[in-house]
Chains A and B, each alone.
Chain A
Amino acid sequence: MSIDKDAVKRLANLSRLRIPEENLDEMVGEITKIIGWVEQLQDVNTDGVAPMNSVVEDMKLPEREDVITDGNIRDQVLANAPEQMDGYFLVPKVVE
């Protein structure tokens, strides 16, 4: 499977990455190579093999009980925010 420039642009947009126009061809080549490498897996015959959903088997999903054990750490939660006011994070205005 090969990938074109538009697909790379779209992927970059979805990932919030800005890729300069002049680097796009290089990215197309690299991503195509990566996909090609992963595609080798298609050669393996998996008839009758159940899909593996997780690499961890024989283990139960760890669970917590419904108890409040966290929170009230607003200063720490906000500590890395570039901007904050009145206990809120501030972000560039986003209105749809």
Chain B
Amino acid sequence: MSYIIKGETGDWEIVVGLEVHCEVISKAKLFSGAATAFGAEANTQVSFIDAGFPGMLPVINHECVRQAIRTGFGLNATINKKSIFARKNYYYADLPNGYQISQSDMPIISDGYIDVDLEDGSTRRIGIERLHLEQDAGKLMHDQHPTKSFVDLNRAGVALMEIVSRPDIRSPEEAGAYLRKLRSIVRYIGSCDGNMDEGSMRCDANVSVRRPGEPFGTRAEIKNVNSIRFVMQAIEYEAMRQVELLESGGRVVQETRKFDSVKGETKSMRSKETAMDYRYFYDPDLIPLVLDDEEVERLKREMPELPDAKKKRFMEDFGLPAYDAGQLVAEKETAAYFEKAAAGHDAKKVANWIMGDLFATLNRLGKKITESPVSPENLGKMVDLINDGTISSRIAKDVFQFMVEEGKSPDLIIEEKGLKQVTDTSAIEKIIDEVMAANPDKVAEYRAGKDKLIGWFVGQTMRASQGKANPGMLNELLKKKLAG
């Protein structure tokens, strides 16, 4: 299971730490009363604070603090009673103040972990060094004008949670699993929507390689990779590059690199010689943030059930295997759908229908589970109808498709389309008699010892019943009749 790069000169292990920026869900910005909603006209959601006008004082949005605390609980971390905001100084056109308000040596959250599930069924614990609050920057557009860049400050000042993992990740797969788990947690909590393609969750990866058991090597930082798949690809490429470099006698330089998703490679952006020096210092506009114990306790009590706890409960209460439970809890909405559909019904079968036909259908239609044409109540009902013998599993596939198309309840569909399973012995016998009468030669062959013709007879009679005959009864009666 451990991920080893086989080099020319021996084995190499990779060491990865991830820094994830999560845009906080809040109506207003971190230090101003301007709106955060995505997609507004340029520079309409900008206050004088966000635009860096002189003399403006930042006032912290308390909801952003609550979101950080909730997320801290989700990461099994320490909530620091006192934290301090600092200025991270650099000049760029998307940063009107010339500094970003962030947190340096005293973040609001520190020392947590999350457990990630891997393909082979094992679990790995990845440490979280810290989570701190900071401001997002504005947006630059470079393709609107031959010699100018356009600046939109709507995003400037929106709250971000930067979540920094410990260098505990040892493979691209673990990096992917970590990001998926983190995304699942912030979505459950409602502190970030976790959409990497829209930029509300962004990832930087610190990658180095070493001989197993040796101290950490020099790392390169890959900036702003915008999908989980690309993060995994970038790590894989970068580790290979470093191994090749080291084995050919070179040295890894500490630098910032960029991932080119088209070419699938990383390239240098700036090296340490020209590296940034952010000259952090405590922001004199903001005194330390001291949390109220009672509120922290209250937020802890109000925490929703998170994926790990839900998975455990699904396994215990519904008897689901770990894999199924893991699939169902990954998205909060899927878990909610399952709970509704499984209530009072055969949970295992409901889970199979969700992970099979429902996922496939939603995929095909490009819909989310919250937009499912089949309601959870109707899916639960359909499973009951299979279990009580009203329809066979085969007919259920058709019923399900009718439910997708018409959105009706399964009993109504079965009634309207006449899909009820035939369990009447005489009706089934009548069909068998007809098939046998029409194929005397096949009957003779069967009776002469060609046993495997039974399959052909089952197919014929099932077709003659339009698939509605109860398969068990059909088999039994057919054998009896053919035996003569």
Q: Which residues of A contact B (CB under 8 A)?
A: 10, 14, 16, 53-54, 56, 59-74, 76-78, 83, 85-96
Contacts and interface: CB of A to CB of B under 8 A. Distances in A.
A89 B150 contact: yes
A89 B288 contact: no
Nearest to B150: A88
A11 to B, nearest CB: 9
B142 A70 contact: no
A77 B63 contact: no
B289 interface: yes
B289 A71 contact: no
A69 B61 CA distance: 12
B34 interface: yes
Contact of A65 (B44, B51, B62, B279): B62
Contact of A68 (B27, B258, B279, B282): B27
23 contacts: A53-B288, A64-B28, A64-B59, A66-B61, A68-B35, A70-B28, A70-B34, A73-B46, A74-B44, A77-B51, A78-B43, A85-B145, A85-B148, A86-B42, A87-B41, A88-B151, A90-B151, A91-B151, A92-B149, A93-B145, A94-B93, A94-B140, A95-B142
Contacts of A76: 48
B148 to A, nearest CB: 4
B153 A77 contact: yes
Contacts of B92: 94
Nearest to A54: B287
Interface in B63-104: 63-65, 84, 89-93
B471 to A, nearest CB: 59
B421 interface: no
Contacts of A87: 41-44
Given A53-B106, A88-B43, 9 more contacts: A61-B289, A66-B64, A70-B28, A70-B33, A71-B35, A74-B46, A86-B150, A93-B149, A94-B92
Interface of B: 26-28, 32-35, 41-49, 51, 59-65, 84, 89-93, 106, 140-142, 144-145, 147-153, 258, 269, 277, 279, 282, 286-290
A78 B96 CA distance: 12
B269 A96 contact: yes
A88 B43 CA distance: 7
B27 A64 contact: no
A88 B26 contact: no
Contact of A66 (B26, B145, B150): B26
Going nearest first, the 7 A-B pairs with the smallest beta carbon separation are A69-B33, A66-B63, A70-B33, A70-B47, A89-B151, A71-B34, A88-B150
Contacts of A77: 43, 46, 48, 51, 153
A88 B46 contact: no
A53 B97 CA distance: 22
A65 B63 contact: yes
Contacts of A96: 258, 269
Given A74-B46, A89-B150, A91-B93, A61 B286 contact: yes
B41 A69 contact: no
B273 to A, nearest CB: 11
Contact of B290 (A61, A72, A86, A89): A61
Most chain-B CB neighbours within 10 Å: which of A10, A89, A94? Answer: A89
